Amino acid sequence: MAEKNQKNRPAKTKKSDPRNRYMRGSKLSEHRFLKVVRAYADDLTVSEAAKATRIAERSVRPLYDRLRERLMRGVISNPKAFGWSGFFLFEDTVISTRGHAIFDIVSESDFFASTRARHAPRVGLTTELHPERFSSLLFETTVRIFCALSTRDLENSLYSEDIRQAIDDVQEISRFIAERQNRSLNENLYDILEAEFPKLVSRFADVLMRDEFGNLIDNASFHRHSAEVFYNDLRRYLFIDPLS
């Protein structure tokens, strides 16, 4: 009889998924962990996130730090995710010259000043004591800006007509120097151009990159679902590369 009852019992099923696929070994359930990710994507402070998720601030704060670290890895690994921010900010795994120019622009903006003022308590922000946290907030802010952009034509959004004309002018000067570097014609003009050209190019590169970012914003339409872009791309990356 006992043997018959055992046969009628449903077979035990093995759990196919871990408790939290986005953070290995976490005490938080996947549902509650994603609430923290959502709060981070919505740009809530640690205290705001703690209230919204009913998770202690001492638990939310280190999660925020780890999410920032994963955000950078996600942007580098997926250049076309997070509003194409990796495409504009990095070359391979290193911040590109263009990326440095964009960070400079964002760091000088009123938008970042207000963001820094609001989130300073969240990151314990002082540039002298926590320069790495200042950088992470600047990086996060820049990525959020890209997530808010919806470009219609990426390649044609980069440069204004004035900059395109300036590119042509610089190329023409470059060709002139190359053609006459071994000739005696127009020696005075050649000497002047040869001396001034490197200075022109060095200044032009910075202007070019600043115009590129500004014109990209001007030719893009801001949408109201930037937090969704940020959240979904971060969640997708965490699924591939979970916290541990």
What are the pLDDT digits (tens) for 27-60?
A: 899 999 999 999 999 999 999 999 999 999 999 9
Q: For tokens 């050209």, what's the residue?
A: 197
Contact predicate 20/235, CB 8 Å: no
Contact predicate 216/158, CB 8 Å: yes
68-72, 88-92, 158-162: least confidently modelled range: 158-162
CA 237 and chain centroid, separation: 13
**Backbone phi, then psi, for 60, in 5-degree steps?**
-70, -40
How much is the pLDDT for 145? Answer: 84
Per the confidence metrics, is the pTM higher than 0.75?
no
Exposure letters 17-38 (e unless 16+ CB within 10 A, then b): eeebebbeebebeeeebbbbbb
**Interatomic CA distance for residues 8 and 1, integer angstroms:** 11
The per-residue pLDDT of the chain, averaged, comes to 75
